[in-house]
Amino acid sequence: MADDKASGEHAAPPSSKLDLAGMQALLDITRRLNAEVDSDAVLGTIVDSLVNIVRADRGFLMLRDSDNELQFTIARDRKGVPLEEKKFRVSRGVVDEVAASGETRLIDDAAASDAYNARMSIVSLSLRTILCVPLKTQQGVLGVIYVDSNAITRRFTDDDVPLIEAFAAQAASTLERLRLQKAEMERDRMAAQLEVASEIQKTFLPSTFPPSDGVKGAVASVAALQVGGDFYDVIRLPRGRTGFLVGDVSGKGVPGALFGARLMSDVRYQALLHDDVAKTLTHVNDIVAERATRGMFVTMFYAVLDPANGEVEYANAGHLAPIIRKPDGTLDSWGEPLGMPLGILSGQIYKSDRRTLNPGETLLVLSDGPGDAVGAGGERFGDDRVMETITNGPGDPEGLVNSLVQVVADYTGNRPQADDQTLLAIALA
């Protein structure tokens, strides 16, 4: 410590009692800080109060940003005049050391200090005295308070350290309180938005399989978040046919839900316009490719069932193959043709195929959520369990969907899931 003092640099001295005037000033400032609810007002109060209490020339407050980097937040001179960012000329070396160590630094006659003399930031500023104090909370150092002055105006001493550290502790507590309040308000705001978005999503996703002549079906969707990126739809088409689709947007939450809602509208329009499964998917892909932001894409299975003869025309854009459950519980899948997910590349030509859905068979289209559901120990539910549940479950669409949803829910318990779960089943009536 003797070496530090010889060079003009001081770490924080042992704690000492504040003098009566300092204590009264600190109490007054504490009352002001506790009364403030606006973060900008608090920042100004902190800097102005600090400059006044130690009679400094300038005061700066620097806080860590989301990347944990120190950023200048507010700066004032002794008259309370804001300093422009381009005039934020301070010794950054001192600031970074205090933020890293969590220890106060008092530099007296800084320009002559052997320890800091090599740092051009101090020399060029011609500083005579510096006080830099960390803003510490239980979570760590959230920023620093920095004041400086010159020898003519004011020279800081060890006697100033207890007061400024007490002030810094109160300032840090206030900033942490406001941060937590802001975070809570943001959570409440997001919760309210998600609730509204969830209600909106429910209006465009069928809650039940719409009645259609000659067919019966069931749908279910369990969102990983309050709103999901999965979507599904059932479309009544000319000549008594029923179109149905299941899709999965690469983004989740509100953006994925809104994107899926708009896409459902596009599919309905294109399906009625072209009356052809392959052409519908081809045109929808061009629309999605033009609209999607970088990295966003959609997997989707789209099919049209004619109940008069059980013929199903279908096309698949990177989605899971549909599963066919036969009356005896054996399973089949329609894996081909398989095209690229929607939105990755425009100009793609999608192909369709035709199969026959026989009486007693149920066609089931899933998102990858059931297989990816995670249970105790972090183990996936897995495709084998999905197939086993379908085989052993009821053969009718509603029973099959409900049984798979329940088995997956029992497996995962109350654990949060990473992906949405969507199921759509259809059979001849």
Q: Which residue has the tokens 């969707």?
A: 221
Residue 117 structure tokens: 């003399």
Q: Is the pLDDT of residue 402 over 90?
A: yes
Give CA–CA dist 414/394, Å, rounded: 25
Q: What does the radius of gyration of the chain's CA atoms come to, in whole angstroms?
A: 33
The pLDDT value recorded for residue 41 is: 72
pLDDT attached to residue 301: 97
Highest mean pLDDT among 52-66, 95-109, 168-182, 391-405: 391-405
At 86 the pLDDT is: 67
Report the alpha-carbon distance of residue 427 to residue 364 in Å, rounded. 9
The predicted structure's pLDDT at residue 231: 86
| Cα 70 from Cα 63, distance rounded (Å) | 5
Query: Assign residue 414 a region: left if phi > 0, alpha if psi is -120 to 50, beta otherwise?
Result: alpha
User: Cα 290 to chain center, whole Å?
Assistant: 25
CA-to-CA distance for 402 and 389, rounded, in angstroms?
11
Assigned CATH for 202-428 = 3.60.40.10
Per-residue pLDDT tens digits for 23-47: 666 666 666 666 666 667 777 777 7
Question: What integer best gives the mean pLDDT of the chain?
Answer: 81
The amino acid sitting at 44 is: G
Burial 276-302 (b: 16+ CB within 10 A, else e): bbbbbbbbbbbbbbeebeeebbbbbbb
Q: How far is CA 59 from the centre of its chain?
A: 35
Higher pLDDT, 3 or 351: 351
Question: Is the pTM higher than 0.85?
Answer: no
Q: Higher-confidence residue: 59 or 195? A: 59
Domain extents in the chain: 2-180, 202-428
pLDDT category at 14 given cuts 50, 70, 90 is very low
* pLDDT: which is higher, 57 or 193: 57
Q: What are phi and psi of 297, to 5 degrees?
A: -150, 175
Dihedral in degrees, nearest 10, Cα atoms 371, 373, 376, 379: 40
Shared fold status for 2-180 and 202-428:
no
pLDDT in tens, 211-234: 888 999 999 988 776 556 788 999
- 127-169 pLDDT, tens digit each: 568 888 899 888 889 888 888 887 566 778 888 888 788 878 8
Q: Please state the φ and ψ torsions of residue 357, each to the nearest 5 degrees.
A: -95, 115
The arrangement of secondary structure in 2-180, i.e. its CATH architecture, is: 2-Layer Sandwich (3.30)
Tokens standing for residue 305: 């069932």
pLDDT at 369 over 70: yes
Taking Cα atoms as reference points, which of 305, 428, 306, 311 lies closest to residue 360? 428
